[in-house]
Amino acid sequence: MKETVIVAIGGNSLVKENGLDSIHDQTEAVKEVVVNIVDMVQEGYNVVVTHGNGPQVGFGLRRSEIAHEIAGMSPVPLVNCGADTQGGIGYLIQQALINEFAVRGIHKNVATVITQVEVSSEDPNFKNPTKPVGSFFSKEQAEEMKREHPEWSFVEDSGRGYRRVVPSPRPIDIVEKDAIKSLIDGGFVVVAAGGGGIAVVKSDDNTYKGVDAVIDKDFATSLLAEQIHAETLIITTGVSRVCINYGKPNQKELSKMTVDETKQYVLENHFPAGSMLPKIEASLSFLENSGTRVIITNPESLKDAINEQAGTHIVK
């Protein structure tokens, strides 16, 4: 039985710098990332790809805001923006994979699954939304939108203006997990749980309803990895290896660490809450449930990392 590897690509990997955020630019960025994923497929791994969508959701919300301001069109809810970006980014990754397989003469099917992720309506983050999304506004603009949408919350962000903040609840179930598992068993490379998934809550009658929330991509990927019984979770980031004492004279790269060592580094505050900490927490959750190993590295090191020649490996 082939080993199943789930690879999480950051949304910022597809928008490399300001001014290079067009669909053409993102398509070219996806092609670069996909080459490394196909290397793993060529080595015999079953691969599932997840991805972030932070910049893309921001673009979608801004387009919606402009269309509302200029033409009076109905705003697109955040939950629908999440679904739209899942489809759009999934299409780019899916097509790039198919094309790279064709170039290499590999016969492999690819499918993107628009994925709903269940969260609890009782999650405390719904009462205290903290995740900034979308554009910056003046105080007057924020107050006007608050009047139009009383349920929205805004915060002043680093002196740059006001931004809408939304809940970021923890994922508790991947709704389409059985479909994803069936596709893997059928030999497909699957793109799933984009942007952390579309946040939904489950009613007593087993029906679902979308909610305006942003689920952390790494936590959703970790949960998906558990539920489809993946052996390896790979989280890509902007650095080749995790570091302790980051940015200090005694900075040290880590090639391998155990779960206990990782927990100790967390207690010593080596991992910033806004960047590396969620990846570390998602890694620990996966390993403490069903996973065998986690690799954290940059996209270009994927092939070397899966062969233990690059990246940071977290093991039980």
316 in catalytic set: no
Helix (H/G/I), strand (E/B), else coil: 298: coil
**Residue among 12, 16, 125, 303 flagged as catalytic:** 12
CA-closest candidate to residue 52, choices 30, 37, 32: 30
- C-alpha torsion sign, points 205, 127, 10, 195: positive
Structure tokens at 232: 């390896």
222 alpha carbon, distance to own chain's centre: 10
131 in catalytic set: yes
Helix (H/G/I), strand (E/B), else coil: 101: helix
d(CA 270, CA 244): 5
Contact between 106 and 29 (Cβ < 8 Å) = no
N- to C-terminal Cα separation, the chain: 22
**Residue among 31, 108, 131, 263 flagged as catalytic:** 131
250 in catalytic set: no
d(CA 302, CA 296): 9
181 in catalytic set: no
Contact between 227 and 177 (Cβ < 8 Å) = yes
**Residue among 52, 53, 279, 291 flagged as catalytic:** 279
CA distances from 59 to 63, 114, 311 (A): 6, 19, 31
**Residue among 10, 11, 52, 195 flagged as catalytic:** 11
* DSSP alpha helix (H) spans, the chain: 23-42, 54-71, 78-104, 139-148, 177-185, 217-227, 259-267, 276-289, 302-306
11 in catalytic set: yes
d(CA 263, CA 240): 20
Count Cα neighbours of 252 within 13 Å in the Cβ-side half-sphere: 8
**Residue among 54, 90, 217, 298 flagged as catalytic:** 217
Residues 6 or more apart in contact with residue 87 via CB below 8 angstroms:
112, 114
Active site residue ranges: 11-12, 131, 217, 279
